[in-house]
Structure 1
Amino acid sequence: MTPNPTIIFGIRALIEAIESGSTINKVYLQKGLRGNLFYELDKLVKDKKIATSTVPIEKLNRLSKNNNHQGAVAQISPIEFYDLEKLIEKTIESEKIPLFLILDQLSDVRNFGAIIRTAECTGVNGIIIQKNGSAPVNAETIKTSAGAAFKVPICKVDHIKDALFLLEASEIKTVAATEKTKDSIFDVNFNQPIAIVMGSEHRGVNPSVLKMVDYKVKLPLLGEIESLNVSVACGAFLYETVRQRLQVVKN
């Protein structure tokens, strides 16, 4: 048995885990693997749209810390993911002003964990990520979040656009953080049902996503460096939301 509870290995073990409904972050398969059982696993992974990488045997040895992995290793998520549509309905029924956070293919687990921690502190109702291309919720994410990953609902969608359509149908406005605009964060009314979209560390928000949002805004940068770390920028957006909402309460 592997000493890491978020790692499982062995073709049959992976098949059983997937069929039982376990939340799989990613499956790693050995290059050149063949055989009927492998094809069964490969088909199952594709049908379930689970992120997969084909890797050398050396990486599988490191991940599993065991040479008896049969060419297949998987990372299991330590949390259960929420259904976005149900979470939106529950949030609206609570009569609180909805606040969601969309992470458009963020890749660094430490940034992800730091953002989850800030999201919990600022009352975010749910974090939305894409199934493929996003940082996983693993042990390092949990540690960096200071345990907040167990408190903030996290939803996975096939594509960020799917989330935008659902939010729009529920009359929740979307605002994207981007440098490709002249509009400032301080010009947006965050005291309304809203979802904040943050992009990946290197690319930012996907252009196709930017076309769909209601607002595109940026943070003022007074120094020579052209951008902030995404977790810092996210914190600024969330606390501007908190500031505006607290101001209304005081008045």
Structure 2
Amino acid sequence: MKNESLIFGIRAIIEAILAGKTIDKLFIQKGLQGDIAKELMQLVRENNITFTYVPIEKLNRLTAKNHQGAVANISPIDFYDLENLVINTIESGKTPLFLILDQLSDVRNFGAIIRTAACTGVDGIIIQKKGGAPVNADTIKTSAGAVFKMPICKVDHIKDAMFYLQGSGIQVVAATEKATTNIYDTDLTIPTAIIMGSEGKGISTSVLKLVDYQAKLPMYGDIASLNVSVACGVFLYEVTRQRL
């Protein structure tokens, strides 16, 4: 956790949540009691914030200040509302291009993808609130600052985001080695959202069942797959090539 985004103290964290700040990580002391602690926990559950119970020694390592049993890490960026972003993109008259990241966990891959997305005209990146890589100092550095210019939406469920995109006339294309069609035979000139999977598991099976098309990159040699940020770059530049 980086000090520039670290907050501590139960009341300070409560106020951050009430102010609409995105809490990336929340550590709460095991056995924490009291009315104000109950107020914090109620807010945490109402806002579906992921938290971890930890021993006080963990909190003491995070900060030497009086943390009162709670330490949090605030996201350095504000997240966009998906519906508003989609509507504004369509109304702008350009052909929409969105990127969905399904449980991508490595912050450096995340940052590299954001940087490439900014270079290829992506209108927004969609991530899930739980389970994905946070936006932290490493993400910012790897993105070369592009994270401050690229709209990022956090959603409760990837599937709901896909349904909304499809209902808005945007095809969802999965980048997966399980596909029988390669990327160069896929029409990406129309409104499109490309979905990339996690480093280890790829796109989840339940999500794959809901996409409009699956596409793969042709592979030669003994290595079975590319790094996800590299694969994402190839997909996005194929969109650029087709739309030129």
Corresponding position of 2:209: 211
Q: 5+ unaligned residues in a row in structure 1: which ranges?
A: 247-251
Q: Within 1, Cα distance between the matches of 2:13 and 2:210? A: 38
Q: Within 2, Cα distance between the matches of 1:126 and 1:59? A: 36
- 1:21-60 aligned at under 5 Å gives the runs 21-60=20-59
Q: 5+ unaligned residues in a row in structure 2: which ranges?
A: none
Q: TM-score, normalised by structure 1?
A: 0.93
Task: Tell me the number of residue pairs that the alignment of Structure 1 and Structure 2 aligns.
Answer: 244
Deviations 1:2-30 (A, max 9, x none): 98231101111111111122222221112
Corresponding position of 2:220: 222
Q: TM-score, normalised by structure 2?
A: 0.96
Q: Within 2, Cα distance between the matches of 1:111 and 1:9? A: 29
Superposition deviation, residue 214 in structure 1: 0.4
Q: 1:92 aligns with which of 90, 98, 117?
A: 90
Q: Could you tell me the percent identity over the aligned residues? A: 67
Contact 2:171 2:212 in 1 (8 A): yes
Superposition deviation, residue 88 in structure 1: 0.4
Corresponding position of 2:15: 16
Q: Within 1, Cα distance between the matches of 2:108 and 2:138? A: 7
Q: 1:81 aligns with which of 79, 82, 98?
A: 79
**RMSD between aligned residues:** 1.5
Corresponding position of 1:173: 171
SS of 2:4's equivalent in the other structure is coil
Q: Within 1, Cα distance between the matches of 2:195 and 2:127? A: 10
Q: Within 2, Cα distance between the matches of 1:242 and 1:92? A: 18
Q: Within 2, Cα distance between the matches of 1:59 and 1:203? A: 30
Corresponding position of 2:123: 125
- 1:176-215 aligned at under 5 Å gives the runs 176-215=174-213
Superposition deviation, residue 35 in structure 1: 2.5
Superposition deviation, residue 67 in structure 1: 4.8
SS of 2:3's equivalent in the other structure is coil
